[in-house]
Chains A and B, each alone.
Chain A
Amino acid sequence: MFLDHLFIIAETDPARPWTWAFVGITFALYLFIGWISRVRDSKGFYVAGQGVPAFANGAATAADWMSAASFLGMAGLISFSGSDGAVYLMGWTGGYVLLALLLAPYLRKFGHYTVPDFIGERYYSETARIVAAICAIFVSLTYVAGQMKGVGVVFSRFLEVELWMGVMIGMAIVSFFAVLGGMKGITWTQVVQYFVLILAFIIPTVAISRMLTGDPIPQTAFAFGDISQRLNEVLAGLGEEIYTEPFTRFSKLNVFMITAALMFGTAGLPHVIVRFYTVRTVRAARYSAVWAIIFIAILYTAAPALGMFARFNLINSLHESRITELTVKHDGDVKSFSFPGESEAAWQWVQEAGDDANLTYSVTSKAGVPLEWATRWQNTGLLTFDDWNRDGTISLKLQETEADGKPVRKSEMAKIDKDIIVLSTPEVANLPPWVIALVAAGGLAAALSTAAGLLLVISSSLAHDLYIRFVKPDASEAEKVLMGRIAILFGIVVAGYFGINPPGFVGEVVAFAFGLAAASFFPAIFLGIFSRRVNRAGAVSGMIAGLLFTMSYIVMCTADKVLPMFFDAPVLTQEDWWLGISPQGIGTLGMVLNFVVTLTISSVTPAPPEEVQELVENVRIP
């Protein structure tokens, strides 16, 4: 009975049985690791007993760092940003250098469990600690909701379960190993998840690299293969921007501002910083940073190659593909027309059905290969076509036409969600079904590992920084661990809820979380280590100034999305951007403001107490 069912599924999508198998095996592995690394004491729960070897912590940090966005989204973003996609590549890896050289070793020496701990002690202020804890919770929650949504997308596309069901399964798995094992369980599952995600990313990239350039190493094929020139020619033919030409998507100033905001923001992300608390010594913290950036670079140097390959392949297979069938869903009524025979009847029906009809095109490439993946992605709504010139083919060429009486240039690919580039690449390239399944398992590993790290930050901020410190300072070890577990479970439920029903602000905030972190956390931690003179008054006013400035600019630019009940248009539109700075890059200016305010106020107020200055001396020596 069950087997029959599998065969039916296999007929519709050959990758599905493989996907079930890979997802099943990897999930069973995560559960097993969670069970064997369960913990009893709070040091084990929050910092894995500080006994994680450098190599393992490097792999765990890499998995923690590379989220669903790095795995599923980044190559797609680069694919459509061309040269300017460098802001993401450099922003996220360059920030890592700052973290490794300026923050990680010293915070490890400090040795407490959380970032709010450091802020609270260094600036001898409970207010600063509470503010830092709330910021950490806010940033982590919005970020984790994005991961949960990524889990849902993978499930709904590859296993055809409902999005909410996918999110629920993901929540159940994370809660098992995170609640049971705390940081220890999370660390060891992240180590395994790193290897799952890197294999899942590299195998298809190598296959496509060999197919398109003859060179199996994507890192060298990127520069030494002829793919960049071929892609540039194809894009020129379609009337699109040249791929390798800089500043087509962002101005030079904005490339600079966005890169810097991403760099200084990533360096301040609490869920990555806490990973460095888990190793034994300062020296181990430095070497785990080395391992982590090697592990991260394997993916990040392959991603720009994949971006190029994917764009080229997608255009090559979709451009001028012929429509073989058109399915129109309207008011619960489904009609299919085969092309070219019934095309006239089809267009007439589309006209009658009006704008809210749902169109699915079955297409065959110009080489005559049926593109079943295109149909499957249209079913998820992440890819849509519109044969607006009614010629029975899908053209990706930008053509002049009119919309609402105004001239526009558009192609017949009405919408493509950038998140589907990585997931669809193996199918577009016609790779074997098990590779497609591996990519799905890799996407889940990336999403779950980051989600787990973020959940631990939420848990430690709620339980360790807020509850135990202010409500129940005399809690026993058992109570501390129990509180941590309850808090993590609470985080999972909230994140799952936002993953299923994302409020408008989540998507916006995730995109701007880096700018907010750059404008608030980075200067406070950095100056806390490198200056003895910076004091409470300076740091607190600097953080408030940086945060308020950055937040208000972002809100003004996105008012219609963040506060839809008050605004139906942004207060600042692109033409009015201050000095032309995009809201994604404003965090850099917010950070500069934070530095200026902190240093000015500190210099006119008394130096911090003697014991705080000693603390600073102390974190500087390993």
Chain B
Amino acid sequence: MSDQRKTELQMYWRDNIRAVSILLFIWFVVAYGCSIFCIELLNHIQIGNVGLGFWFAQQGSIFVFVILVLVYALWMDRLDRKYDVGE
């Protein structure tokens, strides 16, 4: 493997870490922030007939999780193409 390719792969890994960190930050804010630590605060806001905090805890967080996993797959596709890795 040439030195240039090695540097490229290191950059691929760095970009990968960045993608995962951003997505997991959102994961943490939604699951722990909105649904547990700030649930009482958010419950003052209504979504339909339930409090927003309750909604996040029981349903909203799951919708966000689905989107996170999808965005991850698409994001990584782009990185794979950019650095020309993968089978």
- Count the A residues whose beta carbon is within 8 Å of the partner chain — how many? 49
* Partner of A222 from B20, B59, B66 at Cβ < 8 Å: B59
CB-based contact B36/A219 at 8 Å: no
Q: Which residue of A lies closest to B21 (CB)?
A: A101
CB-based contact A228/B61 at 8 Å: no
Knowing A259-B36, A289-B73, the reply to whether A89 touches B62 (Cβ < 8 A) is yes
Bound together, the chains give a CA A156 to CA B57 distance in angstroms of 35
* Partner of A83 from B37, B47, B58 at Cβ < 8 Å: B58
CB-based contact A97/B49 at 8 Å: no
A391 within 8 A of B: no
Chain A binding surface SS class: helix
B50 within 8 A of A: yes
* Partner of A94 from B40, B50, B61, B70 at Cβ < 8 Å: B61
Chain B binding surface SS class: helix
A615 within 8 A of B: no
CB-based contact B69/A244 at 8 Å: no
CB-based contact A96/B9 at 8 Å: no
* Partner of A297 from B13, B35, B65, B77 at Cβ < 8 Å: B65
What is the 8 Å Cβ interface bit string for chain A, positions 278-314, against chain B (1 contact, 0 not)? 0011110011011001100100110010000000000
Q: Could you say which residues of chain B place their CB within 8 Å of the CB of A287?
A: 73
Q: In the complex, what's the smallest C-beta–C-beta distance from B33 to chain A, in angstroms?
A: 11
Bound together, the chains give a CA A517 to CA B66 distance in angstroms of 23
- How many A-B contacts are there with CB distance less than 8 Å? 131
Bound together, the chains give a CA A223 to CA B56 distance in angstroms of 11
* Partner of A256 from B32, B55, B66 at Cβ < 8 Å: B32
Query: Which residue among A90, A96, A290 has the maximum number of chain B CB atoms within 10 Å of its CB?
Result: A90
CB-based contact A97/B86 at 8 Å: no
- Count the B residues whose beta carbon is within 8 Å of the partner chain — how many? 43
What is the 8 Å Cβ interface bit string for chain B, positions 37-65, against chain A (1 contact, 0 not)? 10110010001111101110111011101
Q: Which residue of A lies closest to B72 (CB)?
A: A101
A620 within 8 A of B: yes
Q: Could you say which residues of chain B place their CB within 8 Å of the CB of A489?
A: none
Q: Could you say which residues of chain B place their CB within 8 Å of the CB of A290?
A: 69-70, 73
Knowing A281-B87, A290-B73, A293-B69, the reply to whether A97 touches B27 (Cβ < 8 A) is yes
* Partner of B48 from A78, A83, A224, A622 at Cβ < 8 Å: A224
A85 within 8 A of B: yes
CB-based contact A300/B62 at 8 Å: yes
Bound together, the chains give a CA A294 to CA B70 distance in angstroms of 9
Q: Could you say which residues of chain B place their CB within 8 Å of the CB of A344?
A: none
CB-based contact A246/B54 at 8 Å: yes
CB-based contact A246/B57 at 8 Å: yes
Q: Could you say which residues of chain A place their CB within 8 Å of the CB of B23?
A: 97, 101
A190 within 8 A of B: no
Q: Which residue of A lies closest to B23 (CB)?
A: A101
Q: In the complex, what's the smallest C-beta–C-beta distance from B54 to chain A, in angstroms?
A: 5
Query: Which residue among A229, A246, A252 has the maximum number of chain B CB atoms within 10 Å of its CB?
Result: A246
Q: Which residue of A lies closest to B75 (CB)?
A: A286
Q: In the complex, what's the smallest C-beta–C-beta distance from A159 to chain B, in angstroms?
A: 34
A597 within 8 A of B: no
Bound together, the chains give a CA A620 to CA B11 distance in angstroms of 12
CB-based contact B12/A229 at 8 Å: no
Bound together, the chains give a CA A86 to CA B36 distance in angstroms of 9
Q: Could you say which residues of chain A place their CB within 8 Å of the CB of B32?
A: 256, 259
Q: Could you say which residues of chain A place their CB within 8 Å of the CB of B72?
A: 100-101, 286
CB-based contact B63/A297 at 8 Å: yes
Knowing A223-B50, A246-B40, A283-B77, the reply to whether A93 touches B59 (Cβ < 8 A) is no
Bound together, the chains give a CA A83 to CA B56 distance in angstroms of 10
Q: In the complex, what's the smallest C-beta–C-beta distance from A164 to chain B, in angstroms?
A: 37
Q: Could you say which residues of chain A place their CB within 8 Å of the CB of B37?
A: 252, 256
Bound together, the chains give a CA A229 to CA B87 distance in angstroms of 54
Bound together, the chains give a CA A449 to CA B14 distance in angstroms of 38
* Partner of A293 from B43, B61, B65 at Cβ < 8 Å: B65
Q: In the complex, what's the smallest C-beta–C-beta distance from A221 to chain B, in angstroms?
A: 9
* Partner of A259 from B31, B68, B76 at Cβ < 8 Å: B31
CB-based contact A252/B65 at 8 Å: no
Q: Which residue of A lies closest to B77 (CB)?
A: A283
Q: Could you say which residues of chain A place their CB within 8 Å of the CB of B55?
A: 223
Q: Could you say which residues of chain A place their CB within 8 Å of the CB of B13?
A: 620-621
What is the 8 Å Cβ interface bit string for chain A, positions 74-87, against chain B (1 contact, 0 not)? 00001000010110
CB-based contact A97/B85 at 8 Å: no
Knowing A90-B61, A219-B59, A620-B13, the reply to whether A96 touches B69 (Cβ < 8 A) is yes
* Partner of A101 from B39, B40, B66, B69 at Cβ < 8 Å: B69
Q: In the complex, what's the smallest C-beta–C-beta distance from B80 to chain A, in angstroms?
A: 6
* Partner of B87 from A225, A256, A259, A622 at Cβ < 8 Å: A622
Within 8 A of B (CB), among A218-273: 219, 222-229, 244, 246, 252, 255-256, 259, 263
Q: In the complex, what's the smallest C-beta–C-beta distance from A395 to chain B, in angstroms?
A: 28
CB-based contact A621/B27 at 8 Å: no
CB-based contact B85/A621 at 8 Å: yes
Bound together, the chains give a CA A286 to CA B66 distance in angstroms of 12
Bound together, the chains give a CA A101 to CA B20 distance in angstroms of 7
Given contacts A297-B65, A620-B13, 7 further A-B contacts (CB under 8 A): A83-B39, A223-B47, A223-B59, A256-B32, A293-B69, A304-B59, A621-B9
4 smallest CB-CB distances across A and B, nearest first, come from A86-B57, A224-B48, A223-B48, A304-B58
